[in-house]
Amino acid sequence: MPNDLDLRMMARCIELSRDSIAAGELPFGCVICHDEEVVIEATNRVARDGDVTRHAEMVAMSEAQRVLGTKRLSRCTLYTNVEPCAMCCYCIRETRMRKLVYAIRSPIMGGHSKWKILQDKEISGVIPEVFGRVPEIAGAVMREEAEAVWRDWHPMIWRIITFRGCFGGVAQAADEVPRREGFFRRLTLLHRCVRRAFVAHRFVMYPGRTPSLDGPNLPLS
């Protein structure tokens, strides 16, 4: 359950994501706190620096280490409006971050939801000299507010991102394991995939209309 500090820092991340848009970047914002004191705030710098590794989280961790004068951020919490990718999550583990709080889940790229890096006990068990313990994780904090920034920035891109399942959904439990599907369940999923493929085809063929299987296409709002 997020506390008051978590909510205040996430609200700041969402503000920073708007600043990132104004700077010509994608809507990503990050804050790192040492105990309850803000150490650094950052936005994406990929476009401005011409460097794909300059994610908001990477920029923030680099600056936090410089400000605090240490590689270890074991008394720090990282806040970000979108679940960090695998690259960022390995660095979160290597800096020994105490806690991570994010808003929007990333089921395709996320180091928590997809790649399980943040909850991987093996890497810290086998290589404790490099990787810290599993951090405390809080997901879907102020998710709707964070998603609103993306949607307002570019409604069409947000629609495509969510249609493909890249972002969105509630936070996944750390120990959640996909269940083996039965025949009829797989058949239902196949049917859904075919319907989605048909919708996607109409989406590409008629970009100015909302794709629908059940009624007439309506102009996009």
d(CA 78, CA 88): 11
Adjacent-strand bridge partners of 54: none
Of the candidates 70, 88, 92, 78, the residue with the CA atom closest to the CA atom of residue 41: 78
Tokens encoding 116: 């399980």
Answer whether 129's CB lies under 8 Å from 93's CB: no
- Helix, coil or strand: residue 40: strand
Q: Mind telling me the catalytic residues?
A: 57
Q: Are strands 99-104 and 136-138 parallel, antiparallel or unpaired?
A: parallel
C-alpha to C-alpha distance for 213 and 198, rounded to whole angstroms: 8
Pairing type for strands 99-104 and 76-82 reads: parallel
